[in-house]
Amino acid sequence: MVARSRLAVLLLCVLGSACHRGSPSAVLDPAVAACIPAGTTLLAGADLDALRASPLYRSLSPGTAALAEPLRGASLLVVAANGTSLTAIVRGKFTEPPSGFTAIGPGLAVSGACRASTVAAPPIVAYAESLAANPVWAVALRAATLPLSGNLANLNNFVHSADHTAVAGRLGDRLSIEVHSVCRTADEAQHLESSLRALISLAGMRSRTLGEIRLDRQNLTVRVTLSADASAAEQLLR
């Protein structure tokens, strides 16, 4: 099995690289979706071919770019977590699966446990369907805990404040991120918006790290949009 620490870093890269919302017709690869374990609370995906071809990727330091090197034969990466276990699924034209992965079909390999064919898909898959056309995307349910440490671990407080949080991204010279947090009540949405504004103000993010950040609330949905160059994106992952 691939080292949990490496998969955790890859997951952060997916989350950190995630604004362009997928079209309603976008669907998650059925073979990949069939592998997502029951009870998954955090799901993230990346089009590795699009990531490697982006100007942003070419601007990353060699050390950060090397994180994806073990998956050089893969074109798609999906990572699923439930708080206690991590499953990584890759698609590609490889004849041999990447190191630490087990082939389960032509061009399909997994590291970790797959869902049994007799078990229904977890609810999180439905949220992922509309995001899967994006180069990078992620969905976190309220019960999810992101594998973060230090100050970044505080992001879990915001995840736990919403029913679910969807992240989608566009790759270019800069990293563009859009986050939609859907709350269960108007009070929760108002509280989340206030907390996020306080965090942005306290951290001074607008001027020092990410540039302009926009935050707004519509009914039960709190939306944050931001962008970062390669240097700022790497700082977020430290």
* pLDDT per residue as tens digits for the range 149-188: 877 788 899 999 999 999 998 766 667 889 999 999 999 9
Angle (CA) 140-188-220 rounded to 5° is 75
Please state, in angstroms and as integers, the Cα–Cα distance from residue 177 to each residue in 142, 169, 190, 220, 224, following that order: 20, 5, 21, 20, 8
Mean pLDDT of the 89-105 span: 91
6 pLDDT above the threshold of 60: no
Structural domain count of the chain: 1
Mean pLDDT of the 124-131 span: 91
19 pLDDT above the threshold of 50: no
Q: Tell me, what's the pLDDT at 9?
A: 45
Longest Cα–Cα distance of the chain, Å, equals 52
Q: Tell me, what's the pLDDT at 14?
A: 47
* pLDDT per residue as tens digits for the range 69-82: 778 889 999 999 99
Question: Helix H segments across the chain?
Answer: 4-16, 30-33, 48-53, 55-59, 62-65, 124-129, 155-159, 186-203, 205-208, 230-236
User: What are the structure tokens assigned to 215, written together?
Assistant: 């935050």
**Beta bridge pairs of residue 45:** 78, 137
Q: Tell me, what's the pLDDT at 200?
A: 77
- Give the structural domain span for 174: 4-236
Q: What is the pTM of this model?
A: 0.81
What is the average pLDDT score of the chain?
A: 81
Taking the C-alpha atoms of residue 168 and residue 156, their distance in angstroms, rounded to an integer, is 18
DSSP character at residue 25 = T
Taking the C-alpha atoms of residue 112 and residue 102, their distance in angstroms, rounded to an integer, is 9
17 pLDDT above the threshold of 50: no
Higher pLDDT: 228 or 29? It is 29
Closest by CA to 133, choosing from 73, 68, 76, 74, is 76
